[in-house]
Every structure is written in structure tokens, then in C-alpha cells.
Amino acid sequence: MEVLEKLFNVALVVATIRTTAPILLVALGGSFTTRAGIFNIGLEGQMLVGAFFAVIGSIWTGSALIGVACGVAAALVFALVFALLVVTFRANEVVVGLALNILAGGMTISLMKAIFGTRGSIVGHGIVGLPKLTVPGARDLLGSYAPLVSGFTPLVYVAFLLVPLLVLFYRRTRLGLHIGVVGEKPDAAEAQGLSVTRIRYTASLLCGLLAGLAGAHMSLGYITMFTENMSSGRGFMAVAILIFSNGDPVRLLLGCLLFGFADALSLRLQTFGFPSYLVLTVPYVVALVALFLLAWKTRPKLVRETADSMRRLLSIRPASPER
């Protein structure tokens, strides 16, 4: 019982909020392309280049804000390339996304070696991390629970504030409604005079913007360093969440909280002496279980649809020949 109290406490909730933020940012970015009818599996690569160039910008300028801007710019370039190949040239979106993910991994390792003469990680070198914000009066009002709302970097607050803002965006704004129409019925959108190409480019760039923020948060906010492949599958986790949430911001939040909790729990379990190679599998096991439950949930619907189709086929009998 004492072990459980040490494991499940306020610190675990705070860690869950911190680990949820990058997944939530990139998943909310992916909601733009998902709702626009694009399956964007390149989120992992966009996060990774965002994290790398955020560190580069921070080192070269001594400013965390400019570092974030550099990370966002790099992710936007990848998003633009993705949109060019998928939207304009009609390339397979899965192949393009995987290719950009591989490019991001190789490019960041090569640039790290070329610029810093090292592999593995970039630590020090004058990296300026994002500051932690203190909410006035939080300690007086909440006491020991103050860390739940205070002491996070700005992008953590941005991630959670974006959820209600995107709900309003998709339901109340013209661009949000146009993105949904283009994703569901592109032919009808064109008949109404909407440019499907322009809207999908816009959705891809908005996705790159948030993916860049997610990467910048990882290297300048979550930790102040860059390591090889530091996105660690978070982009793929976001893709998994997008599959069963269909781009809905509230469902995305719930899914990201689940994965964030699994990630935070795995980190806490290591402090209790559990084997690291076993503990680090926890977030991925959660992803597999979530996808399995999704498939199981949709299975009865598929069975019903198949049965209805068979009944319709059996009810169509050839007319008896006239004698």
C-alpha cells in the first residue's frame, strides 16, 4: 500500500501533464490533415526536425523563443514538402510520410556529427531552455496541489488551451468547416467553389506548425537537450490516437492523456527498481491495446454490415423462366 501511495501521487499527475503535452501538440496538428482527408504518417519526422532545429536556433542566438521559431520553420518545410508530393503530385501519403521520417532521422544525425562532431546527444553548448511559468496565488489557493497548474513551460499551457480553441475552430469558423467538408466530400467542396488543393495545403502547414511546437517543447521544454531520435515514436502514437478519434480534439485529449499517463508511469516505475527494458515498453503496449480495443469495438458493426449484405443478396432471386 505504501508503494502505491508513493507511485500514484501528485507527482505522477504532474509528470503525466508534462509527458502529454508533446503528444497532444502533434496530435492536434495531425487533426488538421486528418479532417482534410490526408493520412499524415510523417508527424514523427516533423517533430524530430522541430526538436533539432529548436536546439540549433537556441544555441546560435541565445534565445529560447528564436529556437522555437527555428524548430517550427524546419517542421513547416517538411510539411510543405509533404503537401507538395501528396496533394500536388498525388504521391502515396504513407510512402511519403515514411520517407520523410527516415530523412529526418538520418539528417539530424548527420548534421549533429557535422556541426558538433559528436553522435548521441547535444548537451550544454549554451542551449537556452524555455522558462517555467508560475501562476500567481496557486500556492496559496491549492497548497501542495499547486504543481498541477503552476511551474510548467509555456508550451504545456498552449497544448491544453488549444483543445477548446480547436473545438470552436472546427465548429464555428469558415476555414474549420471548409477543412471538414474537403475531408468528407471533396467533390462536393469543389462543386461549391472551394479549392481542395489550397485547403489541404493550409491544413498541412497548420499541422507542421503544431508538430514543430511539439518538437521544440521536447528539446527546450521537456528536457533541455537533443538526442538521436528523441521523438521516440510519439509521432506514431499521435497517428494511432488520430485513427480512433477521427481528429476530434476532445477525443484526442483523452487519448493523449492515456499515453501520457503510460509514459509517466513507465518513468516512475524505473525509480522503483523495475527493469528499464521492460518498463519502456509500457507506452507501446498501451498503444497496441488501444488499437486492439478499437478494432474489437468496430468488429460487430462490420459483422452486421456483412450479414445485411448477405441477406440482401439472398433476397434477390432470379425470376423463374416462363413456360
Residue 96 pLDDT greater than 50, yes or no: yes
Say if residue 96 is exposed, middle or buried (CB neighbours under 10 Å; 0-12, 13-18, 19+): buried
Mean pLDDT value across residues 228-250: 88
- Is 299 part of any domain? no
User: Do 151 and 133 meet the contact criterion of CB atoms below 8 Å apart?
Assistant: yes
Check which CATH number belongs to the domain holding 27 and give it: 1.10.3470
Q: Give residue 252's pLDDT band: very low, low, confident or very high (50, 70, 90).
A: very high
- Is 99 part of any domain? yes
- pLDDT of res. 232: 82
Describe the chain by its helix, strand, coil percentages, rounded to 5: 75, 0, 20
- Is 229 part of any domain? yes
- Is 47 part of any domain? yes
Task: Tally the domains of the chain.
Answer: 1
Range of the domain at 184: 2-280
Please give the grid coordinates belonging to residue 290: 488501444
- pLDDT of res. 320: 47
Alpha carbon 88 to chain centroid distance?
Answer: 24
* pTM across the whole model: 0.86
What is the per-residue DSSP string for 105-121? Answer: HHHHHHHHHHHHS-SSE
Higher-confidence residue: 317 or 243? 243
Residue 99 pLDDT greater than 80, yes or no: yes
- Is 254 part of any domain? yes
- Is 321 part of any domain? no
Least confident of 28-32, 36-40, 212-216, 269-273: 269-273
- Is 302 part of any domain? no
- Is 292 part of any domain? no
Q: Give residue 313's pLDDT band: very low, low, confident or very high (50, 70, 90).
A: very low
The candidate with the shortest Cα–Cα distance to 97, out of 147, 144, 47, is 47
User: Do 252 and 245 meet the contact criterion of CB atoms below 8 Å apart?
Assistant: yes
Residue pLDDT, tens place only, 277-302: 666 676 677 667 766 666 666 555 54
Mean pLDDT value across residues 194-208: 96
